Structure 1
Amino acid sequence: MGMAVGGNGGGGGGRRRRGGRNKAVISEINVTPLVDVMLVLLIIFMVAAPMMTVGVPIDLPETQAKALNSETQPITISVKNDGEVFLQETPIPAAEIAAKLEAISTTGYNERIFVRGDATAPYGVIADVMARIQGAGFKNIGLVTQQKKDQ
């Protein structure tokens, strides 16, 4: 009875895989799927962002006034054609306009406030809203319109 000891005789203890390939565990993070998801989200937000403007649909009157330059996002008050008043996108009673504006203004009475009135809204409601804003002490009030298209 013979027995092979040591050497390269193919014994059981020190077996190697063919070609000398060791399959070690790779501990790297694959970021390719993350980048793919981020690019898809970027495209979705780029398409959706223009649709997220002021949410109250109003048919603005057309004038020949030039566009306003606004550095910061102004507070917007909208008056629909049925006389309903909105602060940003939240409906509020006209009597609460001054108190709500004072609560949310960040620069005090110098806050920029835009009033958007529907072209068919009652003039008295728009005038009342502007009077309440001015009566509360706010100075920078703008009436928003659309520019007339040259014919």
Structure 2
Amino acid sequence: MTPLRASQSRRRAPVAEINVTPMVDVMLVLLIIFMVTAPLLTAGVPVNLPDAAAKPLTQEREPVAISLDRSGKLFVGDKAVDQAIFADELTRLTARGDPPQVMLRADRGLDYGRVMAVMAQLNRAGINKIALVTTGEAGGDAR
């Protein structure tokens, strides 16, 4: 055997296998990141919701989120809406035909009358499907 042949036989052949372990590690990290951040993306307005033991409702289509923060500021989705133009915003929502379902999120520290005034405006606009959003925890103090 010539020296050239001996050195060629000692070289390793290229490995034809793919190492998927790093890819699986990256996918698991991404999965954990999405699992942690997904619940935080559902509501953009910070509201301290009351507790309730009711079951979640089934929904036919995407509801409209209306929020009242601690100061009583009104939001439609993530957009702040002035009380003076709230009726116009409701008219725009109902102009598409069938009135949408509304998810009303109100801070627990708000005056009950303020929440009922918003519900009355929704009713006058023809929106009768109103869901009150809570944290889902039972056993809160009943003061």
Q: Label 1:124 to 1:23 Cα distance change in 2 as closer, same or farther (>3 A).
A: same
Give percent identity, aligned residues only.
Answer: 38
**SS of structure 1 residue aligned to 2:38:** helix
Note the C-alpha offset of 1:26: 5.6
Mapped to 2, the partners of 1:46 and 1:62 lie a distance apart of 24
TM-score, length-scaled by structure 1: 0.64
How far apart, CA to CA, are the structure 1 residues paired with 2:15 and 2:91?
59
Assess, with a 3 A threshold, how the Cα gap between structure 1 residues 123 and 27 changes in structure 2: closer, same or farther. same
Identify the residue that residue 37 of structure 1 maps to in structure 2. Answer: 26
| Aligned partners of 2:93 and 2:99 also within 8 Å | no
Deviations 1:13-45 (A, max 9, x none): xx3234725655567654432222111111222
Mapping 1:40-59, distance limit 5 Å: 40-59=29-48
Q: Computing the radius of gyration over CA atoms, which structure comes out larger, 1 or 2?
A: 1
Q: Give the whole-Å Cα distance in 1 for the aligned partners of 2:69 and 2:114.
A: 10
- Determine the C-alpha separation between the residues in 2 that align with 1:101 and 1:37: 45
Code of the aligned partner of 1:149: G
Provide structure 2 residue ranges, at least 5 long, that are not aligned to the other structure: none
- The TM-score, its normalising length taken from structure 2, stands at 0.67
Of 109-118 and 50-59, deviating more is 50-59
- Classify the secondary structure of the residue corresponding to 1:17: helix
Runs (4 or more) in structure 1 with deviation over 4 Å come to: 21-30, 101-105, 145-148
- Residue 89 (structure 2) pairs with residue 86 (structure 1): no
Q: Kindly indicate whether residue 63 of structure 2 is the aligned counterpart of residue 69 of structure 1.
A: no
Q: Distance in 1 between matches of 2:126 and 2:15?
A: 67
Q: Provide structure 1 residue ranges, at least 5 long, that are not aligned to the other structure.
A: 1-7
| Equivalent residue pairs, number | 138
- 2:93 and 2:100 in contact (8 A); partners too: no
1:84-118 C-alpha deviation (Å, 9 max, x unpaired): 0112222111343354456567x843422121222
CA RMSD of aligned residues (A): 3.5
Greater RCO (Cα-Cα under 8 Å, separation 6 or more) = 2
Query: Partner residue of 2:125?
Result: 136
